[in-house]
Structure 1
Amino acid sequence: MADPKGFMTTPREDWPRRPVRERVHDWNEVYVPGALLPIISEQADRCMDCGIPFCHEACPLGNLIPEWNDLVSREDWRAASDRLHATNNFPEFTGRLCPAPCEAGCVLAINQPAVTIKNVECAIADRAWEEGFTPPRPPDRLSARTVAVIGSGPTGLAAAQQLTRAGHTVVVYEKDDRIGGLMRYGIPEFKMERRHLERRIDQMRAEGTRFRTSTAAGRDIAADELRARYDAVVLATGATAWRDLAVPGRELTGVHQAMEYLPQANRVREGDLEVSPLSAAGKHVIIVGGGDTGADCLGTAVREDAASVTQLDIYGQPGPERDEGAEPWPTYPRLYRLSAAHEEAGELRSAPAADADARLFAASTLRFTGDADGRVRELHLTGVDAGRRPLPGTERILPADLVLLALGFSGPDREDGLVDQLGLELEPRGTIARDARFATNVPGVFAAGDAARGQSLIVWAIAEGRAVAAAVDHHLTGAPSPMPAPIGPYDRPMTA
């Protein structure tokens, strides 16, 4: 604890964002380059070095937050990087993409703004790359054991890196043409520039992990062949079976899933397309769904120069303070948060009919109506109460040329046939069933991440990848693994 009074004398200061009217004209990250390092040591000083740090419990990775806060406050960046990477394979991903449940669990957050844990994490990770603290770590020797990892999202990459470093020969199969899963094609670059992903992939290649792109397991390589070729198979395909909206007019042209829209915009950034076939340019856009995916659509549509963008959230507008009765500390509270995309839409007045920024709260879609050519033109909605029951007299009509459904995901996509070919048992909600060691009902086949847990956060995905790697290592060697296993398959976030 470098400054015992830091939490009393230093106010919270977040990484500043670039001006809205500047950043909406590019796809670079929204933060001011170089503006984090000058403030981060004092922000790390605000850590109280608690006797019982609840940030550890709030973070499924068990990040050693007070330790690397202290090291940053002393500007010992190498040691801080070592402590950070001891529990997290990809801190530059979580430092940019995680909603920071660790900050909700910060003891200081009981009655003050929490420590900027996420910003400190990001600063350490970026400094580590700049200073060369993250060289490849290939194994000293190989085990002669082979593992196939299906899916290259954060779970698959974490599992693959851990198993490669343990000496096993690992091949990652990805059905898309590039590695990264939803981090590649689902997350806009204004949230995380692709260079952060590319350098981790390069690091993994240098360590010995092999990658096979444009290869859908179950279609391009059969389940029987995978099992015959490898000593173990890890299913980390994610939960990509999207939820739909069963209302009249759903069949109209112009009503799309968010994950049909976002990948096209990201492919423009990759240079595959000149213009997205689903571009929002000049269109009235409605986003149905109030979560992070909806906010990603919002920021993307603003950058594509939509005529208007409105986001519908079925929940009521949350307040600015934690409801101690319903969501007591240290659980993650539902608060009114202003993401970068919402800040942009609010300042640019992209949604004149919205309650706040670009959002209409407590709003439920009734139906879509279209023109004579079958294209969507209007969205009919109603206000709802806390039980999601329609409120009489609150029906409204919004113009809509493009509707994006961001309603979440229910489980793994079964279109490629892998689940059925393997004969996997499923949970009632559609996720892959597994035991306490991440093993499925099929010998040698393990399941991790959203495919088994259900839709979750990137920090839980990486924790799952590390934990399943330890389980697979135990299976391959027949001995308890020395690899860290931060969570079990049945662990869940803290709730009241």
Structure 2
Amino acid sequence: MGKPTGFMDYSRQTAEAAAPRERIKNFNEFHIPLSKEEQQIQAARCMACGVPFCQSGMELMGMTSGCPLHNLVPEWNDLVYTGNWEQAYNRLAKTNNFPEFTSRVCPALCEAACTCGHYGDAVSVKENEHGIIENAYEQGFARPKPPKVRTGKKVAVIGSGPAGLAAADQLNKRGHQVTVYEREDRIGGLLMYGIPNMKLEKHVIDRKVNIMREEGVEFITGANVGKDVKTAKLLKEYDRIILACGAKNPRDIKAPGRDAKGIYFAVDFLSATTKSLLDSDLRDNKYISAKGKKVVIIGGGDTGNDCVGTSIRHGASSVTQLEMMPKAPDQRADNNPWPQWPKVCKTDYGQEEAIALFGHDPRMYQTTVKEFLKDKNGKLCGLITVKLENRQDEKTGRMVMAEAPGSEQKLEADLVLIAAGFLGTEKYVADAFGIALNERTNVKTEPESYETNVKHVFAAGDMRRGQSLVVWAIREGREVARAVDESLMGYTNLGA
């Protein structure tokens, strides 16, 4: 373990964030990492628990507790504490292909399950992970390591998000020849165009992709499989195919006036901003601008918060975020004990920036849209909101969120961003391969299996499990790689 009394001797410390009014001036990452010495002190707080819930990745009350990748957290915390940074990287890389991504965008399920967090402050696991991987790049520990032997087997991976990249990385390490097809102009999937730059700068993705390229993975961009690239050709050329195309069908808001000009899906808003930022530093104006606009964001999750932060950086005149559910408690409720995921109110970076800029939290809880208002030219000019209350459904007996009578309110808006989640895979890809979908419009596979109804075609990530976290996508990518490797070779020695 780290220092036996470390959790008592040292207080939790994390990277300092730039002040909200300063960081909104650009789209750069805004946390200042701890020094190596400070990081080693933080690692000393790890107790190497007899039962390390941080790496359990188990389901409790329908929520994940601990890391789904089963990262060897106490082991590499101890190695950081003792200054053995190279071995710490080796232990981290054993279970996680992309700590440079998870240490930036993962909600830290490990920390929520940390035993220290039961009565005090959790170990700064995510910060330690970031320190390990960035030091590994600086010191050359993360350099390219091409496989010494090739199997002669060819695998196509469709989609370059975290699931597709993880599968490609694992199978390439095994010695198979892997080609990744991506329909966008850059590799990374939603890591590239769905997550804003201030959370994950894109050179971080490029850095890892370039290493994978040097290790032998081939990447083809601008390749829309199922439209521009024929599936029959892929099935003929490759021994196995993995579909990792994500779940990009956005959930819509069906309300009168939905056809008003000025209503966009959040994913389109975020993607266009990032592409324009990378292409021209926003000078080409090929994005949906929030400058000077009254922005209303429908949805209270991470994507909604990203829209808040992005709109503020554009120069929005006001930002309002609508959440259907009630405000979560500030502290754990009695019916939400550790090590369950804490269902508490989180004020994220975008909301912090809105508070600093506009003087109040942008969120309106238990509120949804009843009608979109438009002017005589069909342009959005506002919306009618309605409050929701928890009520028992007369037919099913279940508690549902229903409209509160007489709670309608008019809200000015000239830009609405719908961040209400995703419904499943885009059907044209499944149809092109003849893949069966389940009732949730995700790719259908047998339980604990990644193979589809089409022989030699596998699926993983959000396309199979539905909208989820980056860390789950990486796990699915690793597991589908095991399944593909076993189907090719008759056995597998790839780690899960």
- TM-score by length of structure 1 reads 0.94
Query: In structure 1, what residue type is equivalent to 2:493?
Result: P
Which one of 464, 469, 472 corresponds to residue 481 of structure 2? 469
Distance in 2 between residues matched to 1:294 and 1:90, nearest whole Å: 25
Quote how far apart the aligned CAs of 1:36 are: 5.1
For 1:401 and 1:23, the matched residues in 2 are separated by 25
- Does the aligned pair in 2 maintain the 1:222–1:418 contact within 8 Å? no
Q: State the distance in 1 between where 2:307 and 2:346 align.
A: 17
Distance 2:185 2:469 in 1: 24
2:383 paired with 1:383: no
Runs of 4+ in 1 over 4 A off after TM superposition: none
Between 56-65 and 5-14, report the one with greater CA deviation. Answer: 5-14
Q: How does 1:144-183 map to 2 (within 5 A)?
A: 144-183=152-191
- Aligned match of 1:406: 419
Tell me if structure 2 keeps the 8 A contact 1:282–1:305: yes
The equivalences for 1:396-475 within 5 A come to: 396-414=409-427, 417-435=428-446, 436-475=448-487
Distance apart, 1:110 and its partner CA: 1.5
Identical aligned residues as a percent: 44
Q: Is the 8 A contact 2:2 2:48 kept in 1?
A: no
Q: State the SS of the aligned residue for 2:389.
A: coil
> For 2:339, what is the secondary structure of its paired residue?
coil
1:306-317 to structure 2, matched below 5 A, reads: 306-317=316-327
- Check conservation: 1:315, 1:362, Cα contact below 8 A: yes
- Aligned partners of 2:259, 2:35: CA distance in 1, in Å? 47
| Distance across 2 between alignment mates of 1:37 and 1:393 | 58
Q: Write the letter of the residue equivalent to 2:378.
A: G
CA distance in structure 1 between the partners assigned to 2:109 and 2:232 by the alignment: 40
Opposite residue 468 of structure 2, the aligned amino acid is: S
Contact 2:252 2:420 in 1 (8 A): yes
The answer for the alignment partner of 1:46 in structure 2 is 45
Contact 1:154 1:465 in 2 (8 A): yes
CA distances 1:230-272 after superposition (whole Å, capped 9, x unpaired): 0000000000011101011111000110011111110121125
CA distance 1:227–1:12, shift in 2 (3 Å): same
Q: Normalised by the size of structure 2, how large is the TM-score? A: 0.94
Query: Which of 296, 300, 305 is residue 306 of structure 2 equivalent to?
Result: 296
State whether structure 2 residue 252 is matched by structure 1 residue 240.
no
Shift of 1:38: 4.7
Correspondence 1:259-408 to 2 at 5 A: 259-272=267-280, 274=283, 275-325=285-335, 327-349=336-358, 357-386=361-390, 387-408=400-421
Between 38-47 and 258-267, report the one with greater CA deviation. Answer: 38-47
Shift of 1:144: 0.7
Residue 177 of structure 1 aligns to a residue whose secondary structure is: coil
Residue 61 (structure 1) aligned to one of 66, 69, 73: 69
Against the structure 1 CA distance between its residues 230 and 384, is the aligned structure 2 distance closer, same or farther, given a 3 Å change threshold? same
Describe the shift of the 1:276–1:396 C-alpha distance in structure 2 as closer, same or farther (beyond 3 A).
farther
Q: Provide the rounded CA distance (Å) in 2 between the counterparts of 1:198 and 1:7.
A: 37
- 1:389 match: secondary structure: strand
- Structure 1, gaps ≥5 residues long: 486-496
Amino acid at match of 2:235: R
Instruction: Indicate the SS of the match to 1:148.
Output: strand
State the Cα distance separating 1:2 from its structure 2 match: 2.9
Equivalences, count: 475
Do the aligned residues in 2 keep the contact of 1:175 with 1:213 (CA within 8 Å)? yes
| More deviation, 3-12/401-410 | 3-12
Residues in 1 aligned to 2:388 and 2:429: alpha-carbon distance in whole angstroms: 40
Look up the match of 1:490.
none
Contact 2:2 2:46 in 1 (8 A): no
Q: Is the 8 A contact 2:2 2:77 kept in 1?
A: no
Partner amino acid, structure 2, of 1:444: H
RMSD of equivalent CA atoms: 1.3
CA displacement, residues 327-373 of structure 1 (integer Å, 9 cap, x when unaligned): 32212122111211111111111xx6xxx621111111111101111
AA partner of residue 323 (structure 2): D
SS at match of 1:468: helix
Counterpart-to-counterpart distance in 2, 1:97 and 1:472: 28
2:62 corresponds to: none
Structure 1 pair 72–145 and aligned structure 2 pair: CA distance change class (3 A): same
Tell me the residue number matched to 1:494.
Answer: none
Counterpart AA for 1:262 = L
Is the contact made by 1:40 and 1:123 (CA closer than 8 Å) also made in structure 2? yes
Question: Hey, what does 1:124 align to over in structure 2?
Answer: 132
| Superposed displacement of residue 276, structure 1 | 3.9
Contact 1:15 1:36 in 2 (8 A): no
- Deviation of residue 37 (structure 1)? 3.7
